[in-house]
Amino acid sequence: MRFIKIIFTTLLLPIALVLLNYWWISYVGNKMIVNENKELLKNRYVLVLGAGKEYRSGKRPNYFFNGRVDAVVALRNKFPECKIIISGIADGNHYDEANDLKNELLVKGIKDTLVFLDSKSEDTYASLKMFNRNYLYDSVIIVSQKAHLCRALWMAHQMNINAVGYEAEGWPNREPKWFLLREMGARLKATLEIFF
């Protein structure tokens, strides 16, 4: 009996906590996604979370990058004067997420004067801290794919940022299984960043 309790405590309880954390972030984040509510979307900044333009292998396009570009263009068509903050890492090697997103948006007809770059935020938490520091009293529309968007919105809620989400298209079919595992880890990291 003692052996079973040890197994439960060391294996099953942590797994249950990770799953509960994943579900809670989805629950909170989903309530903040408002793709079609024009009243909740207007008069806000748009914060686009970074994604690489292409994978290192070059074997396929990055659907996350393309989806975020298309989502920002759709928002821009609804709200022509919205200001767009593009966040993402520039690693000096392969990734220059913010500049790649900006260049793609310029090609799609968005004015350079409406786009602001944040090339120093290496993850979602850093992007939200940057927004909170520089745009403290402003409201924001966060753009990303659903799983990432739920996490970002949950974090924004915990940081008292007035945010709603606009969901970008992702993979043409279901996301691969590795993405779910990655997101579980990312949500655990997000929880630790917020509370510790």
Spell out the domains of the chain, with CATH numbers in brackets. 2-195 (3.40.50)
Retrieve residue 92's tokens. Answer: 């000096």
pTM above 0.85, yes or no: yes
Question: ∠ at Cα 156 (53, 68), nearest 5°?
Answer: 20
Dmax (CA) of the chain? 67
Reported as a single tens digit per residue, the pLDDT across 78-122 is 998 889 999 998 877 777 899 999 999 999 999 899 999 998 899
Give the integer Cα–Cα distance in Å for 175 and 5: 36
Q: DSSP 3-state assignment of 2?
A: helix
Reported as a single tens digit per residue, the pLDDT across 124-183 is 999 999 999 999 888 999 999 999 999 999 999 999 999 999 999 988 877 778 888 999
pLDDT at 29: 97
Q: DSSP 3-state assignment of 157?
A: helix
SS3 content of the chain, % helix, strand, coil (to 5): 55, 15, 30
Question: What letter does residue 95 receive in the DSSP assignment?
Answer: -
pLDDT at 57: 63
